[in-house]
Structure 1
Amino acid sequence: MSWKTLIAAACFMAVAPLTHADDLVGQTQQAQQQAREHNQAREAEFAMTERELRAKLNQLKATRNALEAETEKLSDTFSDNEQQLASLEDKLRLESGSLGELFGVVRQASKTIQTDSASSYVGITQPTFNQTVSEIVAADTLPSLKQLNTLWQGMLTQMQTSGELQALTLPVVDAQGVSSEQSVVRIGNLGLISPQGYLNWQSDRKVAIPYRAQPDNTLTTSKLEQAITSVGEPVLVDPSRGFLLSQLEKAPSLADRFSQGGFVAKVIAALLAVGLLIALYRGAVLLSIHAKMHRQLKHPESPEDNPLGRVLKVYHDAPQRDVESLELRLLEAVVDEQQGCEKGLSMLKLLAALAPMLGLLGTVTGMIETFQVITQFGNGDPKVMAGGISMALVTTVLGLIAAIPLLLAHNILSGQADHIRGMLEKQSISLVAEQAEQPANTAATGQAA
């Protein structure tokens, strides 16, 4: 390598760092220029945002000032209105005088009339009066003179018509839900009478519904006409304006009470029916046996097909037996006849013992159901617990009702069976005694000869 080459390489190596340094300086200046431009743009954006916010702030301040001015104005107006209202109230109090007390009395009377009109039969023919009463109760101002006149005239009319009989034509809904116009009679303010009996007036629906349960000798239009034409003819009138009749509807019938007993009541009824059938059949059999035995006593020499006849047949079939053998044969025949007479009585006694036990079972079941209802719904409403309590009481009563006649029948039939057995034993003893006396009589006859 020549010295020229070395000199050139040295010069290149000296110039290269200077060129690289100039490039770095240029890049730095360019980055600074971009940063300054970016900062200027952000500053301009911040300045614009600040101006917008200041404008909004000024607008809000203006709105606040306007609202404060309006509030002040409204407050002054409210104070003026309060003063004016107080002065008007004083003026109204002075001018009305005792009308305020009158208004209170009128509203109280109207409320009472409105409450009574729900069950009143006189108000059927006074729709205007009822409407006026409702308006007075709902109003918060003094009633008008027209309303006051309608009120006292309507009350006077009610008092007059409450002592009169009036024929009316009203819509009546039957048990099938069919509504039809029928001629009825209003008995003052006590009730409505139809050809079938008393009617329940539904003031909200403006219809009459017959009571499901009518009392014995219930009053009808025909009976009322007969009472009017016949002097001194008494009639039955419900003075409670339907309350007693509604309670009569709630009274359960025998079928309702039986259904309250549930499945246990049906089992007790079946048990009672079976027991009564057994008692009737065995009673008829024992009566027939008793009658046949009485006929047999009149003709002991000719035994028939009855217990006493069969015992006598045993005696006649063995005339030469000794006393001990005859006694055993007769005892055997009596025991056989006793078993036949007492057939079915053990079953009757068992049914009489089972009936109260089933009633107790229904009682326990009903109380369990009652406690379950109390656990679910509490004990606040007695109607919720009525089902279980009814079942508990009804099954107890049914069990006793079934046990008493069955036990009585068992006692009667047992007495008849004992009476038949006594007759058989008495006749058997008589036959044994007769057989025992025969050798003695024969011996005495031989000695006399």
Structure 2
Amino acid sequence: MKIKALATALCLFTLPFAASATDSLVEKTQQAQKVQAAHNAEREAGFKLTEKQVKAKLAALKVQRSQLQKETEQLSETFSNNETKLAQLEEQLRLETGSLGELFGVVRQAAKDLDAEMSFSVTSADRKAYHSVVEQIVDAKALPSMSQLNGLWLGMSDQITASSELRDVSVPYINGEGYQSDTQAYRLGSIGLIGEQGYLAWDGKRQVAKPYLKQPEGGPAYASLNGLVQSGLQTAVVDPSRGIMLEQLANSPELKDRLEHGGVVGKIILGLLAVGAIIALFRGVKLFVIRQQIKSQLKNPTKPGNNPLGRVLGVYDKEQNRSVEALELRLLETIVDEQQGLEKGLSMLKLLAALAPMLGLLGTVTGMIETFQVITQFGNGDPTVMAGGISMALVTTVLGLIAAMPLLLAHNMLSTQAETIRNILEKQGISLVAQQAEKAGNAA
């Protein structure tokens, strides 16, 4: 009971407090609802304003889209019209520029030829105008302009004028020792440059002049052309190929060069030829003198002289008291002795004539061996590396034949002379033996 009374008293005490708390909570809730309603109203107003703005912007964008669509349609129509017009213009341009394209090809080819002429010809030593214009036409990818065409025409005209001039010019010159200096030279049109020593080789790429290794016979020089300039008349050797023939002239070997190609074997063959020539000359002169002496002796047989026939006649004078057989043997002995003197040196000539072609063959084999060695080392791609051995092989063969033929001819001629003299001696000896036999028969 006490407990129930206590609880009842507690409830009576807390009831007023709970009622006041509930009122306070309701007021707070109402205030929050008011704040929430105000906030929602504010948000709705913002949303409505934003919706109006969005609708306005949407309407503006739709208007702009409509305008853009109209502009796009106009541009598309304009583009289509331009495409059609451009196709028509391109077709017209193709038709109208067809001949100009061919003309451009001709102009460009002419410009290339003129550029090569202006770059490497001797006229570039003092004529360099219009070169840049010609190079522009060569490198152009489109039709040349009128100024460029005019420059091409003027460049061609300038080259034609330069090809007819004899002009004194100063050119860079590299001598044989490699030193460069400026020298005076005459430019003979577009044919060549003529310096103090003769023609000069013009290097168009480096723009310098160099001497040729060999000058033509009777070629012009700088000093001689001064007379041509003053008098206006003078003959001169010219190279119409503009240096090609002069370069080949330096490559053509002389006799000395060909002999050097023969090597040691070639020198030996020439030595044999010289020895044989000396022997043949000496024996030829000797036999000629002997024949003249014999002719003189035949005119005066009663007085034997110091010659082969005189010595044969002298044997007859000494052997008149002997028998015919003894006289015949003595005469035969004398004739044999004279024959040995007459044929002296002829066997050497015959030996040299036989050795010369054999040495030529030796040089041929040696040259071919050298050629094969070069082929083994360097291959056969470059003919110049094989030229030395082949040249030696051919030159020695030629030298052997050249040496053998005159030696054989000399041997044959000298043998014929010696045989003729021996026949004369034998004939005179037989005549003396017959004369002695007649005297012995008469005495019996």
**Aligned counterpart, 1:157:** 158
Aligned residue for 1:389, secondary structure, equals helix
Kindly state the Cα deviation for residue 244 of structure 1 after the two structures are TM-superposed: 0.9
**Aligned counterpart, 2:440:** 439
**Aligned counterpart, 1:395:** 396
Stretch deviating more after TM superposition (311-320 or 284-293): 284-293
What is the 5 A alignment of 1:72-87?
A: none
What is the 5 A alignment of 1:46-125?
A: 98=97, 106-125=107-126
Kindly state the Cα deviation for residue 185 of structure 1 after the two structures are TM-superposed: 1.2
**Aligned counterpart, 1:309:** 310
Please give the alpha-carbon distance, in whole angstroms, between the structure 2 residues aligned to 1:267 and 1:103: 68
Kindly state the Cα deviation for residue 285 of structure 1 after the two structures are TM-superposed: 2.0
Kindly state the Cα deviation for residue 246 of structure 1 after the two structures are TM-superposed: 0.9
Kindly state the Cα deviation for residue 116 of structure 1 after the two structures are TM-superposed: 3.1
Kindly state the Cα deviation for residue 147 of structure 1 after the two structures are TM-superposed: 5.4
Contact 1:286–1:416 under 8 Å retained in 2: yes
Kindly state the Cα deviation for residue 404 of structure 1 after the two structures are TM-superposed: 1.3
Please give the alpha-carbon distance, in whole angstroms, between the structure 2 residues aligned to 1:243 and 1:133: 26
Stretch deviating more after TM superposition (151-160 or 246-255): 151-160
What is the 5 A alignment of 1:35-434?
A: 98=97, 106-134=107-135, 137=138, 149-226=150-227, 234-434=235-435
Deviation digits for residues 135-192 of structure 1, max 9, x if unmatched? Answer: 5545667767765554432222111211121111223333344444332211111111
Please give the alpha-carbon distance, in whole angstroms, between the structure 1 residues aligned to 2:371 and 2:185: 45
Aligned residue for 2:331, secondary structure, equals helix
Kindly state the Cα deviation for residue 418 of structure 1 after the two structures are TM-superposed: 0.9
What is the 5 A alignment of 1:22-37?
A: none
Kindly state the Cα deviation for residue 102 of structure 1 after the two structures are TM-superposed: 6.7
Contact 2:125–2:169 under 8 Å retained in 1: no
Please give the alpha-carbon distance, in whole angstroms, between the structure 1 residues aligned to 2:405 and 2:228: 47
Please give the alpha-carbon distance, in whole angstroms, between the structure 1 residues aligned to 2:105 and 2:237: 40
Kindly state the Cα deviation for residue 294 of structure 1 after the two structures are TM-superposed: 2.7
Contact 1:184–1:195 under 8 Å retained in 2: yes
Distance 1:118 1:409, change over 3 A: farther
Kindly state the Cα deviation for residue 208 of structure 1 after the two structures are TM-superposed: 1.6
Please give the alpha-carbon distance, in whole angstroms, between the structure 2 residues aligned to 1:220 and 1:245: 15
Matched AA of 1:211? Y
Question: Any unmatched runs of 5+ in structure 1?
Answer: 1-86, 444-449
Contact 2:125–2:171 under 8 Å retained in 1: no
Please give the alpha-carbon distance, in whole angstroms, between the structure 2 residues aligned to 1:185 and 1:236: 14
Distance 1:298 1:344, change over 3 A: same
Distance 1:124 1:232, change over 3 A: closer
Kindly state the Cα deviation for residue 437 of structure 1 after the two structures are TM-superposed: 1.5
Kindly state the Cα deviation for residue 106 of structure 1 after the two structures are TM-superposed: 5.0
Q: TM-score, normalised by structure 2?
A: 0.71
Please give the alpha-carbon distance, in whole angstroms, between the structure 1 residues aligned to 2:301 and 2:440: 22
Q: CA RMSD in A?
A: 3.0
Distance 1:260 1:229, change over 3 A: same
Kindly state the Cα deviation for residue 256 of structure 1 after the two structures are TM-superposed: 1.1
Please give the alpha-carbon distance, in whole angstroms, between the structure 1 residues aligned to 2:442 and 2:104: 122
Deviation digits for residues 196-253 of structure 1, max 9, x if unmatched? Answer: 3211111233222222222222123444455566677543321111111111111011
Kindly state the Cα deviation for residue 398 of structure 1 after the two structures are TM-superposed: 0.8
Please give the alpha-carbon distance, in whole angstroms, between the structure 1 residues aligned to 2:403 and 2:277: 9
Distance 1:314 1:119, change over 3 A: farther
Kindly state the Cα deviation for residue 276 of structure 1 after the two structures are TM-superposed: 1.0
Please give the alpha-carbon distance, in whole angstroms, between the structure 2 residues aligned to 1:204 and 1:334: 81
Query: How many residues are aligned here?
Result: 354
Matched AA of 1:358? L
Kindly state the Cα deviation for residue 342 of structure 1 after the two structures are TM-superposed: 0.5
Aligned residue for 1:127, secondary structure, equals coil
Kindly state the Cα deviation for residue 107 of structure 1 after the two structures are TM-superposed: 4.4
Contact 1:123–1:130 under 8 Å retained in 2: no
Distance 1:135 1:375, change over 3 A: farther
Deviation digits for residues 72-121 of structure 1, max 9, x if unmatched? Answer: xxxxxxxxxxxxxxx9xx99x96998587776555443332333345411
Matched AA of 2:406? P
Please give the alpha-carbon distance, in whole angstroms, between the structure 2 residues aligned to 1:311 and 1:243: 72
Kindly state the Cα deviation for residue 432 of structure 1 after the two structures are TM-superposed: 0.8
Distance 1:227 1:425, change over 3 A: farther
Stretch deviating more after TM superposition (135-144 or 171-180): 135-144
Please give the alpha-carbon distance, in whole angstroms, between the structure 2 residues aligned to 1:146 and 1:230: 41
Contact 2:118–2:128 under 8 Å retained in 1: no
Distance 1:280 1:425, change over 3 A: same
Aligned residue for 2:302, secondary structure, equals coil
Matched AA of 1:411? N
Please give the alpha-carbon distance, in whole angstroms, between the structure 2 residues aligned to 1:432 and 1:227: 84
Aligned residue for 1:241, secondary structure, equals coil
Kindly state the Cα deviation for residue 409 of structure 1 after the two structures are TM-superposed: 1.0
Deviation digits for residues 412-445 of structure 1, max 9, x if unmatched? Answer: 11111112111211111111111112133445xx
Aligned residue for 2:200, secondary structure, equals strand
Kindly state the Cα deviation for residue 362 of structure 1 after the two structures are TM-superposed: 1.6
Contact 1:123–1:158 under 8 Å retained in 2: no
Matched AA of 1:153? L
Contact 2:279–2:349 under 8 Å retained in 1: yes
Please give the alpha-carbon distance, in whole angstroms, between the structure 2 residues aligned to 1:130 and 1:271: 64
Q: TM-score, normalised by structure 1?
A: 0.70
Please give the alpha-carbon distance, in whole angstroms, between the structure 2 residues aligned to 1:236 and 1:424: 63
